[in-house]
């Protein structure tokens, strides 16, 4: 399976959560959205283990099974459609998570997240 990692599941993996460990270790490929990277690094800077956390992240990113995903023109269009869908449904979600969802749609990936608000986007496969 090809997984797009949300921030909370990357943190779970680092904390050796059994579900996160299993999903990450058995995934065919792992994708880290730019938003997740930004949230992680912002959190590192606010914590007391910034250097250690950054080293762990760099080691993770250097795995041949891990790729970074950045927003492009197609992503922007997916974002707009998802935003409009959520607004019509009356189920807004955080903007960062719309970016994650847009990348998942664009690249046909399952989102690995504990965030329940991804349930408002049934077209996106999700692992909890």
pTM for this prediction: 0.94
**CA–CA separation, 2 vs 19, rounded Å?**
16
**56, 25 in Cβ contact below 8 A?**
no
Q: Is the pLDDT of residue 122 over 90?
A: yes
Domains parsed from the chain with CATH numbers: 2-127 (3.40.50.1010)
- What pLDDT does residue 128 have? 80
The DSSP secondary-structure symbol of 6 reads P
Could you tell me which of 44, 46, 69 has the C-alpha nearest to residue 57? 44
Does the structure show a pLDDT above 90 at 42? yes
Across residues 65-69, what is the average pLDDT? Answer: 98
What integer is the mean pLDDT of 114-119? 94
Q: pLDDT class for 102, splitting at 50, 70, 90?
A: very high
For residue 18, give both structure tokens.
């059994």
Three-state DSSP state, 15: coil
Which residues lie closer than 8 Å to 96 by C-beta, 6 or more apart?
Answer: 35, 39
Confidence at residue 97, expressed as pLDDT on a 0 to 100 scale:
96
For residue 81, name the pLDDT band (cuts at 50, 70, 90): very high
Q: What is the mean pLDDT of the chain?
A: 96
**What six digits make up the tokens of 90?**
């009356």
Tell which wins on pLDDT, 127 or 74.
Answer: 74
């Amino acid at each position: 399976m090809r997984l797009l990692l949300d921030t909370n599941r990357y943190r779970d993996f680092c904390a050796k959560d059994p579900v996160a460990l299993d999903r990450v270790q058995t995934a065919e490929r792992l994708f880290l959205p730019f938003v997740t990277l930004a949230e992680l690094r912002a959190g590192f800077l606010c914590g007391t283990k910034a250097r250690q956390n950054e080293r762990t992240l760099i080691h993770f990113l250097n795995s041949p099974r891990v790729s970074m995903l950045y927003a492009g023109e197609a992503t922007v269009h997916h974002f707009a459609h998802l935003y409009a869908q959520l607004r019509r449904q009356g189920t807004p979600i955080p903007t960062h998570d719309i970016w994650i969802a847009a990348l998942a749609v664009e690249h046909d990936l399952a989102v690995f997240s504990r965030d329940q608000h991804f349930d408002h986007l049934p077209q996106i496969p999700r692992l909890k």
